[in-house]
Structure 1
Amino acid sequence: MSTTHNSCDTLNETITKTQIERVVEGRKTFVSMVKELNACLSFCKDMGDSLQVPNDIILKIGYRFFFFGSFSQLINEDEYKIFIKECRAKLKDERKEHKETFGGKKDFDLNSGKIDLHIKYAPFTGHESRLAHYYRHLYTNVRREALYIDNKDISDEIESYSFEGNKCVVVYKNSVKAYSYPQHRIKMVRFAIQSKRAGNIFYYLKAIAESVGLKTEECNNIFANSYG
């Protein structure tokens, strides 16, 4: 009887853990992300206030933790090394507690009160690939048209194009040479999904990337590159 009881407990625990760690899909993904972002910024705000870190730095570092994950070595500011180190440790502790309760704990303590972090996946592990993938899909929906040559979409490769007679003249990026293609090799595709709301989201994400993005030694924005 005891063996059967223990087996049932183990099975129930496994089922519960599986339910908690299942993939979050659809619009619920963004609901969970907003909760996680708010929590991440709140934990960083708590730490930043105690170390007298400016609010704009707290916002930038907090969003980077959310986007790249607290383990990422891309989050590095020489002037605020102690702040970043303390934030890493705090987010690690909160993630551990979240995991130990299988996501059952909803409220986490802050100096100013509590924050809701009731999500069904491990928090603060980063969303770079998810958001970049979403952004690329959003970009294809916002674009008004796409140009195909021999059934290959070259829209992102070209600087400009024009039709002259029965030919399409294409100028590629980083090139001044124009290439002519007969019209039977060309196909234009116009997108049906062109809402103002989709466009607003697209440019909002782009603005975030440009505002809080990290830059490489060549001054390339890592966020913008990930989103593009």
Structure 2
Amino acid sequence: MAVSYMDYTAPNVQFTYDLKNNNFFTKDSRNLINALGIAQLNTLGNVSLLDIYLSTSNVIEPHTHQNASELVYCFSGAAVVSLINPFTKKLLNFPIQPGQVANVPQGWWHYEIATVDNTHLLAIFDAPVPEFIPGSDLLRLTPASVFAHTYCLDEATWKAAVAPITQTVVIGPPVGCKPGQVGGTANAPSHTHHHGAHYPQKPYGLREQPANGHPQFPAPVIGNGWD
């Protein structure tokens, strides 16, 4: 546990919290994430978590946590936790079922896919506010010209391929997804939301500090121009 300067006699000291009160992201009633960090429970040390619910084939999009490792525990259902080992350059896939865990080292590229309905996962982090860099933000915010020049791609083809990614995905596929159709989901109505508000609000990147000095979870990143 991190060193705490909490006054445990203070009237605002917290020892319990209901995660349903802090929704991080909702795609629909079967695919959602609730979150717990120091902003919700002020006696927490160097730990935070995401309470994740997924239906079959839904995926927590590829992403990294550059300041935290992640332990994924399966309560119910089943999922595959996939990560890229940056030392061996190999993709590793770890199926987990109830009672099993998979560990993702700090900063490693990874994603989770539910293989059955009613999958319930708990992601535990060794940081009070895990930073989140989603693949959808990297793809949509990096200029197409940079990808094309760097990897010798046709710029127009690349731009068309990523054009449907108009917001942070978090749980994919997006609502209204029609693979292979020109325009993809770009014009589909959005029914997702983040922190209880209609999504999108802000992508995530640069951490913000509220007045009380504690970052919200997850910290918003990359201001308007993901948590």
Query: Which range, TM-score by smaller chain?
Result: under 0.3
Tell me the TM-score normalised to structure 1 length: 0.24
Structure with more relative contact order (C-alpha pairs < 8 Å, separation 6 or more): 2
Tell me the TM-score normalised to structure 2 length: 0.25
Q: More strand per residue: 1 or 2?
A: 2
Larger Rg: 1
